[in-house]
Structure 1
């Protein structure tokens, strides 16, 4: 129903849009009511957020069918997921800053077109290697659409109530996409796994057409230049770092190749830091990392994504391998968490308005920690009842996500100049992706280390997962501690470079 309502907003906005739209005034303080065009812009951004969540969960459900038809091994199947993570996590920071330097509208629309094309090709290929390549390309495209969408939102809606409300709606569609993907993935896979790749194509095209009509043109940042050396070292370093993390559990953390890759990634990222300190217009201004609340928001999203992704990974394997649950039953078991986020997030703007961002994030970390402790205590028994032993953990996780996502995004971008909103958005999303990948890799290593079978999963028992669950609980508790530590530095403006002080006003297309 939520998706249908937002599609209505898109359709109505397209009807009212003309070739020469009226002047666009994003400052909602001048007009407390949002115009149809403003709703339409938010609808486009939310639809893209929905597609990101939808894609991740749908493809995960289809992996066994893909492996059977294309003759892929388990290792190859993992790269259908990891290929996306590799492109997405490695280029997020570059994607956000590129939007600042080249223009948010331009970068967003080009990346969205690439996403749609890669989805179409992925649904038509008959070769596993080509499929993995399309997944990597989709990840790269998402690395540009995700932070650019967030920076368009934060520059379109004024900081305060309007932005908090928009972020809350934005969060709804991320959760709705993921929740819908769990169910749709099971249904579409029964009709053929290719539909999992083809179904997002018309939605992406709809978002592209609506974006062209509705998103206002914006001026690229006057400052920033073209930091080619910084872009090269950052991209190569992040690619190697993410690849090292996602491949380490399979190859071995102490393997010479793994160690060499980590050393090369560290060398490239060190070179990036040195370059950024010397160039006149750095790709990433490190001064933003001196703002305490922004740093804590980035650490909090590592705890949020890292703990949940690892928990879901273990839960999926344990319930299906040890307890014999079907993928659809597994999806339905996790669905209440997504529903809580979907239906509760619209009210988060009021919560943030009243309590700011610190208290909701603290409450979220408490909720997540309690969820994992509860499952450790009661959920691992093979005779555990879903309603009393498992569902409480699922509900607490949903509550934690509902409280955390909008609050973290708001805290991570508040007080940042418009010319650096893409950088702030890319930074927090990179923290979530890279942090989540690191925690998941460590969790995978702990789980497989406790296995006594050849594939590490065939004879899964709860005791095998206990060390991983303990790590996940520790990550959530660490996030809580970080948020409770008082900041020594009060929030202040992110101090953009003097030559970038001009406020960027969107220009109607």
Structure 2
């Protein structure tokens, strides 16, 4: 056998190691892109499903024989289950592994979508929508937590988090467009069936592209899980009931009272728990609390604005459902354009100026909408506000996501992700309830258009709250450590 000189053997091993390392990095890049595509697609699908059925509601009413009261629960059953179970879903990922819980949630969401698309009775559809919400509550925190644990600190994680924030914020607008297209070209069942191939692809491809996160030894905090789940669900339920019948109607006051009591008890339980479902130290960071509040106020303003702007475009300007959906596309374009700048700006300037600029853009757009008139046109009254609001949303949503997840221990990424998404779900319900109340008060004895201007004025109050929060809640110099 021919002997290879020692120096040659060393060079050969070095070259082989270098080649292997390069190959591993290339595979990591490709795998990272696939992982991000799967996780971001899941997030987009979950957010879209909260609004995609809105355009299809008239067809669902005629197809299944829904009454007025029951029809609203086609949307609310999903929102209630999703918002109420988020913290529990996030903690389950921390303890059992985020990939495992994520895939379980996506599988449940996909099966429920198929069952809902086949629904023959109202009860059947509502049960399927609630099951979709349960699956979304398991998958949603897992998707964001897996992004945080899959990508290393630095530019790749920044880009991944930016993509996640973009799809989360743009999902409501995309849902309106997609719902109009599917309902007009197919049927209302298509808005549910469209989830099936998407969900199946995510479940099949996730094990190939996404590593399992380390499991954390521990047990479920049952008392904390009950109080936060029941309290969050009752809070969302109260906002839903307030939007439907007013703040003093029926069970609404009771729901709010019990929700407040449970949520007030929750931190007491968590402070004494060995392994809390939501570690209270996550709220000791001033910037993180500010980011959570910004997300709550942003979603409250955006959700209510889209609801009444849809009514204005169709009822006053006379657009059809499909044209209305496409009329909101500039929002998404502006959102993506503005959000791309955040990963470069945040390490240099910190969150305060970015949040302030975003809040100012949203406030300007909402104040513009308060001037809506019968003789207005899309160009003079809609295009400018949706561009401003889209750009402001892009700045705020991406920066809030970065700040909320900064410096979070690996074992608590699920809880933090769930907390961030809880703000989004609660904010949407809160905003709709407040804007509906403002609309009813302003339109009483006047006109529907006066009611819409009143709703937009209430939305302007939310955006003004964003501006105050941006100026007061964040440290002046957050610096590079926040990015």
User: Given the two structures, how large is their TM-score scaled by the length of structure 2?
Assistant: 0.88
- Using a 3 Å threshold, how does the CA distance of structure 1 residues 297 and 478 change in structure 2: closer, same or farther? same
Aligned residue number for residue 21 of structure 1: none
Determine if the alignment matches structure 1 residue 40 to structure 2 residue 27. no
- Tell me the residue number matched to 1:470: 457
Equivalent-residue separation in structure 1 for 2:172 and 2:251 (angstroms)? 35
**Contact 2:352/2:476 (<8 A) preserved:** no
CA contact (8 A) 1:83 1:135 kept: yes
Mapped contact 2:40–2:167 kept (Cα < 8 A): yes
Is contact 2:443-2:449 (8 Å) kept? no
Alpha-carbon contact 1:367-1:397 (below 8 Å) kept: yes
Tell me which of 284, 287, 292 is aligned to 2:281.
287
SS in 1 for 2:408: coil
Match of 2:111 in 1: 117
Task: Supply the distance in 2 between the matched residues of 1:212 and 1:355 (Cα, whole angstroms).
Answer: 38
Other-structure match for 2:349: 355
Give 1:3-402 correspondences, 5 Å limit: 35-174=29-168, 177-190=171-184, 191-222=186-217, 224-255=218-249, 257-377=251-371, 380-402=372-394
Q: Which 5+ residue runs of structure 1 have no aligned equivalent?
A: 1-27, 454-458, 495-509
1:253, distance to aligned residue in structure 2 (A): 1.5
What's the Cα RMSD here?
2.5
Aligned to 1:409: 401
Measure the CA separation in 2 of the matches of 1:47 and 1:254.
40
Q: Does the 8 Å contact 2:270/2:279 carry over to 1?
A: yes
1:490 to 1:221, Cα distance in 2 relative to 1, 3 A = farther
CA distance in structure 2 between the aligned counterparts of 1:416 and 1:154, rounded to whole angstroms: 9
Q: Deviations over 1:164-190 (max 9, x none)?
A: 111122234446654443333222212
- The CA distance in 2 between the partners of 1:67 and 1:37, in whole Å, is 44
TM-score (norm 1): 0.84
Question: Taking structure 1 as reference, are residues 313 and 182 closer, same or farther at Cα in structure 2, changes over 3 Å only?
Answer: closer
Q: 1:76 to 1:449 in 2, by over 3 A?
A: farther
Structure having the higher Rg:
2
CA–CA separation in structure 2 for the residues paired with 1:478 and 1:177: 23
Q: Does the 8 Å CA contact 2:169/2:397 hold for their aligned counterparts? A: no
What pairs up with 1:432-451 in 2 under 5 angstroms?
A: 432-451=424-443
Structure 1 counterpart of 2:410? 418
Residues of 2 paired with 1:316 and 1:486: CA distance?
33
Q: Is the 8 A contact 2:83 2:426 kept in 1?
A: yes
Counterpart for residue 12 of structure 1: none
Distance 1:405 1:45 in 2: 17
Instruction: Name the CA shift for 1:185/1:250 in 2 (closer, same or farther; >3 Å).
Output: closer
Alpha carbons of 1:47 and 1:327: their partners in 2 closer, same or farther (altered >3 Å)?
same
Q: Describe the superposition over 1:18-57 as per-residue Cα deviations: whole angstroms up to 9, x where unpaired.
A: xxxxxxxxxx9x9699521121111110110221233233
Equivalent-residue separation in structure 1 for 2:163 and 2:427 (angstroms) = 25
Deviation per residue, 1:127-168 (Å, 9 max, x gap):
112211211111121112111111111112233422211112
Q: 1:256 and 1:327 mapped to 2: Cα distance?
A: 33
- Is 108-117 or 359-368 further displaced after alignment? 359-368
Call closer, same or farther: CA 1:278–1:338 in 2, change over 3 Å: same
In 2, the alpha carbon distance for the partners of 1:343 and 1:61 equals 27
Using the TM superposition, name which of 289-298 and 400-409 deviates more: 400-409
Q: Distance in 2 between matches of 1:34 and 1:358?
A: 34
**Deviation per CA, 1:317-367, whole angstroms, max 9, x where unpaired?**
222233332111211221110122245544432233443333222111010
Contact 2:113 2:196 in 1 (8 A): yes
- Distance in 1 (alpha carbons) for counterparts of 2:245 and 2:386: 33
Higher mean displacement: 62-71 or 92-101: 92-101
Q: Following the alignment from structure 1 to structure 2, what is the Cα–Cα distance between the partners of residues 347 and 34? A: 25
Q: Residue by residue, what CA displacement relative to the aligned partner does 1:208-233 show, whole Å, maximum 9, x if unpaired?
A: 111122221222113x4221121122
**What is the deviation of 1:490?**
8.8
Taking a change above 3 Å as real, the CA distance of residues 450 and 74 of structure 1, as seen in their structure-2 partners, is farther
Is the CA contact (8 Å cut-off) linking 1:147 and 1:429 kept in structure 2? Answer: yes
SS of equivalent to 2:54: helix
In structure 2, list runs of 5 or more residues that go unmatched. 1-21
Between the two proteins, the alignment pairs up a number of residues equal to: 457
Distance 2:444 2:345 in 1: 48
Task: Give a deviation string over 1:35-92, Cα, whole Å, max 9, x none.
Answer: 2112111111011022123323321111110011111123222111111110111111
